[in-house]
């Protein structure tokens, strides 16, 4: 009986250590415009992901993009804070 309790307790400890810890990760993005006169960077958006760190970083990186609009060429860069 004692051995069964120890085995079950050991499996619970091992099982809980293998699961990834989900917590809130904040992804902050900035938008940088490039023109002939230089560059201009502004805060663009903020996202919060309740994930493990690897998944949150992946989702954050998916927000990065580049293109152009009325103000010129831009790039959006995002990082986990």
Q: What is the DSSP letter of 58?
A: H
User: So where are the chain's domains?
Assistant: 20-80
Q: Is the pLDDT of residue 10 over 70?
A: no
Report the SS3 class of residue 21: coil
Separation CA 55–CA 22 (nearest Å): 10
Separation CA 54–CA 61 (nearest Å): 11
4-8, 10-14, 45-49: least confident range: 10-14
Q: Could you read off the pLDDT of 14-72 as tens digits, one per residue?
A: 555 555 578 999 999 999 999 878 899 999 999 999 999 999 999 999 999 999 988 88
- The residues that bridge with 69 in the sheet, in sequence order, are 72
Report the SS3 class of residue 53: helix
Model confidence band, residue 1 (pLDDT cutoffs 50, 70, 90): low
Report the SS3 class of residue 36: coil
């Amino acid at each position: 009986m004692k051995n069964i309790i120890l085995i079950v307790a050991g499996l619970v400890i091992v099982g809980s250590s293998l699961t990834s810890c989900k917590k809130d990760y904040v992804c902050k993005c900035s938008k940088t415009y490039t023109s002939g006169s230089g560059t201009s960077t502004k805060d663009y958006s903020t996202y919060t992901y309740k994930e493990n760190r690897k998944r949150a970083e992946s989702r954050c990186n998916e927000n990065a993009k580049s293109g152009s609009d009325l103000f010129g060429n831009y790039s959006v860069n995002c990082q986990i804070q």
